[in-house]
Amino acid sequence: MSRSLIFIPVLAVFLSCAAKERVEVFHVGEVEVRLYSTREAMTKELPEVLQLVDNLRVTDNVIKVFGYYDRENKVIYSVDDARTVIHEFRHYMEPDWRHGSEAKSIPN
In a domain, 42, yes or no: yes
Residue 95's pLDDT is 84
Domain that holds residue 26: 21-93
Total of domains in the chain: 1
- Is residue 86 domain-resident? yes
In a domain, 88, yes or no: yes
**Is residue 108 assigned to a domain?**
no
Tell me if 85 sits within 8 A of 68, measured CB to CB.
no
pTM of the model: 0.71
End-to-end CA distance of the chain: 71
Name residues whose C-beta falls within 8 Å of residue 75's C-beta, 6 or more positions apart in sequence.
31, 32, 33, 34, 69
pLDDT of residue 14: 45
pLDDT digits (tens, 9 = 90+) for 56-102: 888 888 889 999 999 999 999 999 888 999 999 889 988 888 777 45
Q: How far apart are CA 34 and CA 26, in angstroms?
A: 6
Q: Is the pLDDT of residue 26 over 60?
A: yes
